[in-house]
Amino acid sequence: MIETHQRFAAAALEKITVIIPTLNEAAHIPAALDLFFRGPDVPEVIVVDGGSTDQTVDKARACGAQVLMASGGRAEQMNAGARVATGSLFLFLHADTLLPAGFQCAVRETLWLAGVAGGAFQFRLDRSTAGLRLVEKMTNWRARRLQLPYGDQALFMRAAMFREIGGFPAMPIMEDFEFVRRLRRRGRICIVPEPAITSARRWQMRGVFKTALLNQIIIAAYYLGIPPSLLARWYRGRQIAAGR
């Protein structure tokens, strides 16, 4: 009992760095950042912008975040944030995802569990329809059973582990998928039961069935060895066609 208490006391001292890649997220970044600057347990927050043409950078700075600029896509943005981070624990967050209150305790306690290489939060969308509920169930099943959470579940791990596996691969798409595959080779990936709430905008814009199908096609094509550069061009072409 004393040893367990000492472990959790040590975990409470570990600093968390939250790294958020952004590109034209002025509508979402204030809400994403709001949680971090309330209360005494304030993490290091680094927003890495990829060249926004809206007010993302100004709003992030106004909220209190450190802001960096990086080009080359989301993987490079996240790696750039990690290079200057000073925390011993890293959490990578999408700008349209909201973490649960008390996420710091969940991250620290999870990463102190034996055999755990990293973690993520349960997936939930900010809209409720029958189709979106099915998306949530399928996503959470995949994350728990296959140990494959994606970036919109707020991936976290020790900074040392992140560096050990080489950070996010320099890929224009599927960087979180490949990163998690490498991470799970080093240990278990634990899914925190409290949900991170993600915007349903992608599913609403294109439709639940089309979005889910497109995601599965991209994954299958990646497994078949199609270069990520081709997948990224094809995927973004579909986004443009959908009016994004």
Predicted confidence (pLDDT) per residue in 103-141, tens digit: 999 999 999 999 999 999 999 999 999 999 999 999 999
pLDDT at 244: 41
For the chain, domain boundaries: 2-199, 202-244
Mean pLDDT of 78-83: 98
pLDDT at 7: 58
Assigned token pair, 208: 């639940």
Give the strand pairing for 89-92 and 155-158: antiparallel
pLDDT at 84: 98
pLDDT at 134: 93
pLDDT at 205: 85
Residue with tokens 């634990």: 190
**Nearest of 45, 38, 191 to residue 102 by alpha carbon:** 38
pLDDT at 137: 95
- Cβ burial of 59 (10 Å; 0-12, 13-18, 19+) is buried
**Contact yes or no for 147/229 (Cβ under 8 A):** no
pLDDT at residue 38 tops 80? yes
pLDDT at 89: 98
Q: Does the pTM of the predicted model rise above 0.85?
A: yes
Tens of pLDDT, residue by residue over 64-79, are: 999 999 988 999 999 9
pLDDT at 240: 43
* CATH classification for the domain delimited by 2-199, as one of 3.40.50.970, 3.40.50.720, 3.90.550.10, 3.40.470.10: 3.90.550.10
pLDDT at 23: 96
